[in-house]
Structure 1
Amino acid sequence: MSDVADFAGEAQALHDADLAERLEHERLAREAQPGTEECIECGDPIPPRRREAMPWVTRCVPCQEFEDHKGRRRR
């Protein structure tokens, strides 16, 4: 006989699988988009090593950190 914990565990497993699939889909979509050589925020050049590591980037590190910080404050 299944109990509430079994149902909760199954629901959590389905949620985790759905989240993992969605994150992978977002990652693939992001990586498929071309990046830029200059930051879209400040116009400074994006260092080649950053573009090699993440070809889809559109912001320099300081601007991306600022954007990430803004996103955390909204939650």
Structure 2
Amino acid sequence: MADSADIAAEIQERRMAAALSSRPTWWTGVDMARADCEECGDEIPAARREAAPWATTCIECQSIREKRGRHVR
């Protein structure tokens, strides 16, 4: 019989598998380290690409998106 910890671990594994299978396709794409901002076309700094390889905008454009409420895909 499984104890509470085993049941919790199984639930967590199922949730993680579901989250990974439903992640956006841009996350798994080849272009994870996009060099140019999709908003302004300027180069995304290397430090940002390393810290957030999924980033498709530079910090300035991302700040504008968040202020406008467009940061969620």
TM-score (norm 1): 0.53
Secondary structure of 2:37 counterpart: coil
Runs (5+) with no aligned partner, structure 1:
1-20
* AA partner of residue 29 (structure 1): R
2:33, 2:23 → 1: CA distance?
Answer: 12
* AA partner of residue 52 (structure 1): E
Measure how far apart 1:69 and its partner are.
0.5
Counting aligned pairs with the same residue, the percent is 40
Q: Of 7, 23, 26, which residue of structure 2 is paired with 1:29?
A: 23
Deviations 1:15-63 (A, max 9, x none): xxxxxx6xxx38x825434241000000000000100011010000010
Partner of 2:64: 66
Partner of 2:45: 47
Secondary structure of 1:29 counterpart: coil
TM-score (norm 2): 0.54
1:37, 1:29 → 2: CA distance?
Answer: 22
Aligned residues: 49
> Which runs of 4 or more aligned residues in structure 1 lie more than 2 Å from their structure 2 counterparts after TM superposition?
28-33
